[in-house]
Amino acid sequence: MVIPLVLAALTFGVATPVEVGAVEPETGVPAERVAKLARGVNLSHWYWSPVNGAKGFANTAWFTKDDAAALKTLGITHVRLPIDPAQFFTNKLGGRLHPSNIKKLDATLDMLKDAGLAVVVDLHALGTTVEAEYEKKLKDPTQKYTQDREKAFVKDWETLAEHLSSRSPDSLFLELLNEPIFDEDAKRWEAIQLKLANAVRAKAPSHTLILTGNDWGSIHGLKLITPIADKNVIYTFHFYEPYTFTHQSATWGSANWKFLKDIPYPCDAEIIKAVLPGIKDDSARGEAKWYGGQNWNAAKIEDRVKAAAEWSKANATVVWCGEFGVYRGAPEKYRTAWLADFRAALDKNKIGWCMWDWGGTFGMINGEPGKREIDAGTAKALGFTTAPK
């Protein structure tokens, strides 16, 4: 059982849905929609990179109506649903939806709607077998295979948008691509994103689109793009800085991460000294020492978030943080301290947020299906509270 959101707000100072991300009318996004993106969590490893591989794809036991109800009771207003395009588009030339998988998606969207949760449908190509199709082969517009892939990408989104267009635009958002990686060619990604946005808008005239910048959807990438003319758009960024802390002990990505342990937050050059002898790899130890010299704390995080807020204000747009989190290999007291500081910075700048993730290695929950509980420390860091057990 959890204490209702009103009490959570009084206890931890969480802004109400109307306050978080409240916008001026000229942005073009209805304020009530922005409010629905106030506080969220990513439902990863379900329709994308599923637990237990292919057998886990869209498994109805992975996330149930009881899980959805628990999130709603906690005070979560929306979920982000990453989907693997390889599981939904059946024609390499674009434009055909996989019939059984789109049926599963429809059932999930119905369940989430019934629970009172808004949904961001996120085309999440990163890390899948189609990454080369959706990103690498889109980079050189002079090549025929790039031109063909781009046309297919647009057609895929047209077909999906048309299918989803009958659902209420007040509770369903369309995110065109997760974390674009176009090296230094931000303008190339902008050109593709504009084509996608125009195509999706033609099929879903009332739905709010979610766009992002190059460079893994970072704040840096966001600041490099020019907002499109369409005003019914929200811009997203992701935040995991500093990776030395947030990804410590992870076995993928940087070669150093798996050697990093007990990395503290907040940190400075003096604090890190106690940790260095326990890091046996020279390169990883050097990275940890460097991290200590960066002086990461609440003020530094707030400065980063403020940059996104200032971009939003300067461009009369709405911004939303679609991903942030700390791998659960980090010491829990430091993990929750980082989450609390980052969430507080977002709330202070009236930016809605969606934590990564619900049931994965950055997770909000503990336990197996049927025995799950929302982690009390994570909930408190996010501004919620759970009742005594």
Q: How far apart are CA 223 and CA 172, in angstroms?
A: 26
| Residue 121: Cβ within 10 Å count | 24
Per-residue confidence at 136, pLDDT binned at 50, 70, 90? low
**The model's pTM:** 0.91
* pLDDT exceeds cutoff 70 at 37: yes
Q: Look over the chain and give the mean of its residue pLDDT values, rounded to a whole number.
A: 89
365 with 43: CB under 8 angstroms? no
Q: Pairing state of beta strands 118-123 and 209-212?
A: unpaired
- The HSE-up count of residue 375 (CA atoms within 13 Å, CB side) is 22
Q: How large is the average pLDDT for residues 11-31?
A: 53
* pLDDT exceeds cutoff 60 at 120: yes
* pLDDT exceeds cutoff 80 at 99: yes
SS3 state at 293: coil
| Residue 240, both tokens | 């995991």
Q: Which value, in Å, is the radius of gyration of the alpha carbons in the chain?
A: 20
Which residues lie below 8 Å from residue 332, measured CB to CB, with a gap of 6+?
377
**Each residue of 52-79: pLDDT tens digit?**
888 899 999 999 999 999 999 999 999 9
Q: How far apart are CA 67 and CA 341, in angstroms?
A: 26
Per-residue confidence at 21, pLDDT binned at 50, 70, 90? very low
Handedness of CA 102, 159, 177, 236 (dihedral sign): negative
Would you give the DSSP letter of residue 42? E
**Each residue of 342-364: pLDDT tens digit?**
999 999 999 999 999 999 999 99
Which residues on adjacent β-strands are paired with residue 211? 235
Check residue 171 and give its pLDDT: 97
For residue 156, say if its preceding peptide bond is cis, omega within 30 degrees of 0.
no
**Each residue of 147-206: pLDDT tens digit?**
888 888 899 999 999 999 999 999 999 999 999 988 777 888 999 999 999 999 999 999
Check residue 126 and give its pLDDT: 62
H helices, E strands: number in the chain = 14, 10
Check residue 25 and give its pLDDT: 42
| Residue 242, both tokens | 């500093």
Q: How far apart are CA 366 and CA 375, in angstroms?
A: 6
Q: What Cα–Cα distance (Å) separates residue 327 from each residue in 106, 286, 355?
A: 31, 21, 12
Per-residue confidence at 280, pLDDT binned at 50, 70, 90? very high
Q: How far apart are CA 323 and CA 340, in angstroms?
A: 15
How would you label 192-225 residue by residue, b for 16+ Cβ within 10 Å and e otherwise?
A: bbbebbebbbebbeebbbbbbbbbbbbbebbbbb
CA nearest neighbour of 202 among 152, 159, 236, 150: 159
Q: What Cα–Cα distance (Å) separates residue 98 from each residue in 45, 108, 113, 127?
A: 19, 15, 22, 20
Q: How large is the average pLDDT for residues 238-267?
A: 97
Per-residue confidence at 27, pLDDT binned at 50, 70, 90? confident
Check residue 282 and give its pLDDT: 98
